[in-house]
Amino acid sequence: MKIIAVINHKGGTGKTTSTLNIGAGLARAKKRTLLIDIDPQSNLTEGLGFRDVKVSIYDSIKNDTPLPIENISEYLDIVPSSLDLLGAEIELVSRLGRETIVKRLLKAVDGKYDYVLIDCAPALGMLTVNALVAADTVLIPLEAEYFAYRGIDRLVSIISDVRTHYNENLTIGGVFITKINPRRVITEQITDSIKKYFSDKLFDTSIRVNVALIEAQLKGVDVFEYAPLSNGAVDYENLTEEILVKL
């Protein structure tokens, strides 16, 4: 079971869209996949059509009860989030072993899945630390803009702290560029500068700007189901292929 945290503390870089569609891509490749929404915004949960969730990851974190797992399709499950997860950051302050809660919760499903993808909030608080402590590797989506990697030093330094104190095998599995507009003249320069910064960590596949990705989430389905021939479906299929080979 490979546990992947999808992380970037910058907002709107495509974490949720990527978790959802890479997850769907892995499930299409018949990999048993569990998605975990650990963001109080609950965009992943809602993007897969779950609303008014009664039991969420918040309950498991608070009460140490088994993760509430909802089925999406044959190979795809999700642990939903809910807005009350917002309170968790503060409630965790006084809890002993607070960094390892999600890791412990995931122990109970060990072996049931090939991949677990954790969609993190745009924050570097205790919930994100929990994801990093539980994870084997990290995927970082970067928006195609100048200095997209600005601030990434902070993320890299937290990853290194987690490695030192909790999870010595944690790796940065890769970085990929999202929301690329191939018609923009500066796109190539942006890609080049990101490539220089991350060298071999940057995936070959970038995700183009594609409205089908937005529409699919509004409909509560993945892009392969909503628009199988769209650029979004093609790009996420290629990215999934790379992940299957490289992670």
Ligand X SMILES: Nc1ncnc2c1ncn2[C@@H]1O[C@H](COP(=O)(O)OP(=O)(O)OP(=O)(O)O)[C@@H](O)[C@H]1O
- Written as six digits, the tokens of 59 are 């309950």
Give the contact letters, 41-80, x = binds to Mg ion (CB under 5 A), - = no: --x-------------------------------------
User: Which residues have C-beta within 8 Å of that of residue 126, sequence separation ≥ 6?
Assistant: 88, 89, 92, 93, 98, 99
User: By CB under 5 A, how many residues form the interface with Mg ion?
Assistant: 3
How far apart are alpha carbons 161 and 215 in whole angstroms?
Answer: 38
- Exactly one of 16, 33, 56, 60 binds Mg ion (CB under 5 A); that residue is 16
Q: How far is the CB of 117 from Mg ion (least distance, A)?
A: 12
Of residues 32 and 81, the one with the C-beta less far from Mg ion? 81
Burial 57-79 (b: 16+ CB within 10 A, else e): bbbbbbeeeebbebebeebbbbb
- Exactly one of 9, 10, 15, 179 binds Mg ion (CB under 5 A); that residue is 15
- The entry of ligand X, Mg ion, none that residue 210 binds, CB within 5 to 8 Å by partner kind: ligand X
The C-alpha torsion from 73 through 205 and 139 to 34, rounded to 10°, is 10
Of residues 16 and 56, the one with the C-beta less far from ligand X? 16
User: In a 3-state reduction of DSSP, which class is residue 224?
Assistant: helix
Residues that bind ligand X in the complex, under the rule CB under 6 A: 11-17, 39, 41, 43, 122, 178-179, 207, 209-210, 213-214, 217
Judged by the rule CB under 5 A, the positions of this chain that interact with Mg ion are: 15-16, 43
